[in-house]
Chain A
């Protein structure tokens, strides 16, 4: 087991030992159960039946919004809790460099986000295929309707995770870093309304977060390529990463 893997396992152990993750998974299951219950009641009252692929796609779309916010919370918390409890000192007096510590935390968050989303996708699909009508289509429709869109929205989710993570390193405050990421996330739509016709709009990060549009064949701004979007996205992500590493490395721990 490499040293880095050991650090990631540590972070994973810490996240799974806190109450948040299990409680959040229970919350997701309650949402799923309620949706299933409502649909079954709706059908028994004579409402139209739902296809299992369609049900999965709708439910997963809703829960992945929740998971987006949840991942912002844990991306902040994985940093701020160590400062709050003073355990940051324990982490930083080990052979591991500060950059390595930071990277192990980032990798762990990405693993948690993948785990929660994929687990939810699997459970929802399983329940839907058992309970609802599957005649309309099988796995390949699931790929089109749920799995692929999820991976194409992942860059968007990851961006706000990086924002929360960097804000947490800078501010060391849980409330502040969650607020910054959530507010940016919810105001992005409005912000775009104001700036989408500006010539420099294509150099902001916002048009490059939605990769679904490229899949649909309609680029977010006319004339730009996926390569350009990918490059801009990578640039912003790298900048956030660099800021968090530099600040974290330089900081005197009181």
Chain B
């Protein structure tokens, strides 16, 4: 099996001469949660609609499991589960009827045991025979995910999935998605304009603005633990100036000295060396703090201060 599940190659969308998406390319790997981040109006929804065949593509190619979504639609869509904006369901039918409806549509046989399994996974077994109009938004969201997963897709596409959910619902959804990616090895593409949300659930994130690719960022915490990565370390000491002076003549130079806080750029291994150095020079250390650059800082620098919410 190929390691790349979704691939966009120079995708462009123009409507009446206006370029909404401009030469956008990115790849989603198997089993990762991939964030799709951008300010409102950046073109996230438009891109997702092209990926699932709701909108035509002006130029460029979108491949899902190697199948072109335009030329080989049926094969490509057989691997896709999606919720575009709200979880649109037939409110006048029961949860079970809705699942039956989408099971029949997915182009391959979905066994009863698969339906039972999914229903248990999203914890809807108690209300499955009630009409969807009586469901809470959280329940609808879960039923939406259930219908998207029936046919065991290799990519789950979620457009702003936490819209309208309360904090508890958002947390619940996040836990579901993480479990999904881990247990079923499904790739998940989540679009959002909310940084905090993406930061908490994604392994990797792509940022777009005005329909253009801005940058990609790995968020997975294990990468930041790597030995060679440098980061800003703050040393809260009794006398900042004295501490800075003690460093003169060494290979370490403070980036900033302010309010008795000395900031240095160090690798992980260098931190104990500095501590030892200060102790030898009888400089009292009250606190050592690692200042990681937040996604927000990166996002703002990538989009050059473009507004975010």
Question: Are A95 and B104 in contact (CB-based, < 8 A)?
Answer: no
Complex Cα distance A28/B88, Å? Answer: 33
Question: Are A95 and B101 in contact (CB-based, < 8 A)?
Answer: no
Among B78-86, B112-120, B196-204, the stretch in contact with A: B78-86
B100 at the interface (CB under 8 A from A): yes
**Please, which residues of chain B bring their CB within 8 A of the CB of A89?**
54, 84-85, 88
Among A6-14, A132-140, A163-171, the stretch in contact with B: A6-14
Which A238-254 residues have a C-beta within 8 angstroms of B?
250, 252-253
Judged by DSSP, the binding face of A is helix
**Please, which residues of chain A bring their CB within 8 A of the CB of B91?**
85
Q: B80 touches which one: A10, A14, A93 (CB < 8 A)?
A: A93
**Please, which residues of chain B bring their CB within 8 A of the CB of A253?**
49, 54-55
Question: Are A93 and B74 in contact (CB-based, < 8 A)?
Answer: no
B41 at the interface (CB under 8 A from A): no
Report B199-212 CB contacts with A as 1/0, cut-off 8 Å. Answer: 00000000000000
B279 to chain A, nearest CB (A): 62
A225 at the interface (CB under 8 A from B): no
Question: Are A87 and B78 in contact (CB-based, < 8 A)?
Answer: no
**Please, which residues of chain A bring their CB within 8 A of the CB of B82?**
93
Q: Using known A-B contacts A17-B93, A93-B82, A96-B105, determine if residue A86 contacts B88 with beta carbons closer than 8 Å.
A: yes
| Tier of interface size on chain A | 20 to 34
**Please, which residues of chain B bring their CB within 8 A of the CB of A86?**
85-86, 88
Complex Cα distance A89/B102, Å? Answer: 12
Question: Are B54 and A14 in contact (CB-based, < 8 A)?
Answer: no
Question: Are A3 and B90 in contact (CB-based, < 8 A)?
Answer: no
By CB atoms of chain B within 10 A, which of A17, A94, A250 has the most? A94
Q: Using known A-B contacts A7-B105, A95-B73, A95-B106, determine if residue A17 contacts B88 with beta carbons closer than 8 Å.
A: no
Q: B105 touches which one: A10, A17, A18 (CB < 8 A)?
A: A10
Complex Cα distance A199/B105, Å? Answer: 50
A170 to chain B, nearest CB (A): 18
A97 at the interface (CB under 8 A from B): yes
Question: Are B97 and A90 in contact (CB-based, < 8 A)?
Answer: no
A30 at the interface (CB under 8 A from B): no
**Please, which residues of chain A bring their CB within 8 A of the CB of B93?**
13-14, 17
Complex Cα distance A250/B93, Å? Answer: 30
Closest residue on chain B to residue A88 by CB atoms? B88
**Please, which residues of chain A bring their CB within 8 A of the CB of B80?**
93
Report B6-32 CB contacts with A as 1/0, cut-off 8 Å. Answer: 000000000100000000000000000
**Please, which residues of chain A bring their CB within 8 A of the CB of B107?**
3, 94-96
Report A1-36 CB contacts with B as 1/0, cut-off 8 Å. Answer: 001001101100110011100000000000000000
Complex Cα distance A94/B89, Å? Answer: 14
**Please, which residues of chain B bring their CB within 8 A of the CB of A18?**
92
**Please, which residues of chain A bring their CB within 8 A of the CB of B105?**
6-7, 10, 91, 94-96
B149 at the interface (CB under 8 A from A): no
Q: Using known A-B contacts A85-B90, A253-B54, determine if residue A13 contacts B100 with beta carbons closer than 8 Å.
A: yes
Closest residue on chain A to residue B52 by CB atoms? A93
Which B86-135 residues have a C-beta within 8 angstroms of A?
86, 88-93, 97, 100-102, 104-107
Report A94-134 CB contacts with B as 1/0, cut-off 8 Å. Answer: 11110000000000000000000000000000000000000
Q: List 8 A-B contacts (CB under 8 A).
A: A17-B93, A18-B92, A85-B88, A89-B88, A93-B54, A95-B77, A95-B78, A253-B55
Q: What is the interface of chain B, defined by CB distance below 8 A to chain A?
A: 15, 49, 52-56, 73-75, 77-78, 80, 82, 84-86, 88-93, 97, 100-102, 104-107, 147
Q: A86-B88, A90-B102, A97-B74 known; 17 other A-B pairs, CB under 8 Å?
A: A7-B104, A10-B105, A14-B92, A17-B92, A17-B97, A85-B90, A87-B89, A93-B53, A93-B77, A93-B84, A94-B77, A94-B105, A94-B106, A94-B107, A95-B105, A96-B74, A253-B54
Q: What is the interface of chain A, defined by CB distance below 8 A to chain B?
A: 3, 6-7, 9-10, 13-14, 17-19, 85-87, 89-97, 250, 252-253
